[in-house]
Structure 1
Amino acid sequence: MTSRDWQVERRAVVDRDEYACRSCGFEDAGDSRTALEIHPIDTAESGPGTHAHESAFVTVCTDCSTTLRGDHAGIPETPTALFERVRETTQRQGGAISEVASFASLATSLPSALEADEIPAKSVDETNVESADEGQTAAENAASDPLEEYCRTRRDAILALDLADAHLEALEAVDETAFDTDVRTSLQSVVESGHSLQSTLRTVVERAETVPAGLERCAACVGTVTDGSCSTCGLEARATSEWEDPDGTLAFERLFAAINSELQAASGTTKTLTEQTTTLAEALSGEEAS
């Protein structure tokens, strides 16, 4: 992909996201595109010189992009600043839980939607061209099309997880020697539980992505899969053997039960994380008072 092709792809992503950051909602009212960037949400290589479909990217503002790149400038060295960073991290993870749960709910509804003929048997790109109402926003069009809604909620869920990961990495970069033993121990517990929660939520996303794969659709853009790859974005078909019945069909009920189980596990970890954050707050309060 040439630099020019990359800019065309970038414009397609920003246009799709209506010139707004999908994390904080910042809008580029001037349509200058200078305050918005695109963030890759899939593991495949992406960037100038590579080929990637717009479904592999999401629009973010420069501030959120800086966070995602892991710029840990201004690492807190006071109890108050550290707790503020921890609070921001837990808020990010709370948002990630909500986004992942929404994506999982949407994904598990796809089989019944297809069976009820609520979704045209065509690629997402074709569906957009034929059914999108020019008077509607992209979000409104997505809400009226389960395939588009799947793609949108998937992008938002992965972006939320990427941002939560970045905040956890920032906590790990804190100079622990600036704090006493109680604070260091409590902070380590919070970070470990945070990573555990992230791992569980990413498992939910992976399992939710298996649903369209079981319907012979792409896990990323839900285009039709033929000959082992997506006809729309070119992504290789997701393996589904782990969730197949002896006759080769996907055991959706078993898959859905596994997704629900992981979400329940995430809820339990969240409770533990809340308790650990409270303990950390008490330790920081004690250090600040001393």
Structure 2
Amino acid sequence: MFLSSHCLLTLVTSRDWQVERRAVVDRDEYACRSCGFEDVEDSRTALEMYPVDTAGSGPGTHAHESTFVTVCSDCATTLQGNHAALPETPAELFRHVRETTQIQGEAISDVASFASLTTSLPSALEADEIPAKSVDETNGGSADESQTAAENAASDPLEEYCRTRRDAILALDLADAHLEALETVDETAFDTDVRTSLASVVESGRSLQSTLRTVVERAETVPAGLERCSGCVDMVQDGSCSTCGLESRATSEWEDPDGTLAFERLFAAINSELQAASGTTKTLTEQTTTLAEALSGEKAH
């Protein structure tokens, strides 16, 4: 759930909040990671920080930048569940359904990208392909140093893991918000065929969300099997991450008898869930078409 700036100020100190906000929006290049809206001047009202993880936050604590992603005020409003107007006409309802399915399509793409990236982590770490950071992220650096750091981040599988994970979780949360809006539509405003079709669309949408979140959870198991945090991918000791505060993800379900993670079996399970998501998407497309036909019939009355 989205936490407003006021709520987040109760989780971190004022000084820490300023430091982390600057780190987050700079990392995200002063753009909303959902819709792409840019605020290069950083007016401090157009862009907000959305938490993809809330572990390790508490009064007086320092929230790590990996637990937040930049969103614009419009996307933040949607994530909060504050929809300006719920669909009341057939045209409005179908427009919202179509927008929801489009957002879920983007979520599928983001989740698939994240899952694909995780399959490269074991080999990348084994081959020592993780570039060293050339800039102290806390103290900053010159423009040339910052550019070098950005180039390193783009080629660093661990940085890419964090980015694609944040994007996947954000996309799923946004899709959830749209589905919740559909669930609050006044059903008495539409006939039985429309209500039945809409219920089927929402049910399939929820099923798709569940499958995609399972993919994310299983993909997060990969760094856990490498003794790294599933959030910021720093090394984990004593059951939790000292950097971002996340608890270690359980890996016992995917371990071989010798205690090592069975990566190939885990990757196969992830692929199976993605295939299931593809099947649900096909069903959802068919149900959306049926809903469109029902809405067309209602408009004709």
TM more than 0.5 = yes
1:50-129 → structure 2 map (5 Å cutoff): 50-119=61-130
1:255 shift after superposition: 0.4
Contact 1:107–1:208 (Cα < 8 Å) also in 2: yes
Q: CA RMSD in A?
A: 2.3
1:25 aligns with 2:36: yes
Contact 1:19–1:33 (Cα < 8 Å) also in 2: no
Q: Please state whether the residue corresponding to 1:60 is helix, strand or coil.
A: strand
Report the Cα distance in structure 1 between the residues aligned to 2:131 and 2:248, rounded to whole angstroms. 20
1:121 shift after superposition: 8.8
Contact 2:220–2:230 (Cα < 8 Å) also in 1: yes
Report the Cα distance in structure 1 between the residues aligned to 2:180 and 2:244, rounded to whole angstroms. 31
Which residue of structure 2 lines up, in the alignment, with residue 244 of structure 1? 255
Deviation string, structure 1 residues 251-283 (Cα, Å, up to 9, x no partner): 101100100000000000000000000000000
Which residue of structure 1 lines up, in the alignment, with residue 7 of structure 2? none
1:49 shift after superposition: 5.2
Match of 1:212 among 220, 223, 228: 223
1:156 aligns with 2:163: no
1:262 aligns with 2:273: yes
1:276 aligns with 2:287: yes
Report the Cα distance in structure 1 between the residues aligned to 2:95 and 2:107, rounded to whole angstroms. 18
Report the Cα distance in structure 2 between the residues aligned to 1:44 and 1:232, rounded to whole angstroms. 11
Letter in 1 for 2:167: D
In structure 2, runs of 5+ residues without a counterpart are 1-11
Letter in 1 for 2:147: G
Which residue of structure 2 lines up, in the alignment, with residue 147 of structure 1? 158
Report the Cα distance in structure 1 between the residues aligned to 2:206 and 2:256, rounded to whole angstroms. 33
1:133 shift after superposition: 5.0
Moved over 3 A (4+): 45-51
Report the Cα distance in structure 1 between the residues aligned to 2:292 and 2:108, rounded to whole angstroms. 22
Q: Please state whether the residue corresponding to 2:24 is helix, strand or coil.
A: helix
Match of 1:134 among 137, 146, 155: 146
Report the Cα distance in structure 2 between the residues aligned to 1:136 and 1:273, rounded to whole angstroms. 44
In structure 1, runs of 5+ residues without a counterpart are none
Task: State the identity as a percent.
Answer: 86
1:48 shift after superposition: 6.7
Report the Cα distance in structure 2 between the residues aligned to 1:36 and 1:129, rounded to whole angstroms. 21
Deviation string, structure 1 residues 111-158 (Cα, Å, up to 9, x no partner): 011111112599x988x989x9533584x4432111100000000000
Aligned residue pairs total 286
Contact 1:214–1:240 (Cα < 8 Å) also in 2: yes
Change (3 A) 1:45 1:137: closer
1:176 shift after superposition: 0.8
Letter in 2 for 1:28: D
Q: Please state whether the residue corresponding to 2:43 is helix, strand or coil.
A: coil
Which residue of structure 2 lines up, in the alignment, with residue 193 of structure 1? 204
Which residue of structure 2 lines up, in the alignment, with residue 11 of structure 1? 22
Letter in 2 for 1:29: V
Q: Please state whether the residue corresponding to 1:32 is helix, strand or coil.
A: coil
Report the Cα distance in structure 1 between the residues aligned to 2:271 and 2:46, rounded to whole angstroms. 38
Q: Please state whether the residue corresponding to 2:119 is helix, strand or coil.
A: helix
Report the Cα distance in structure 2 between the residues aligned to 1:42 and 1:120, rounded to whole angstroms. 26
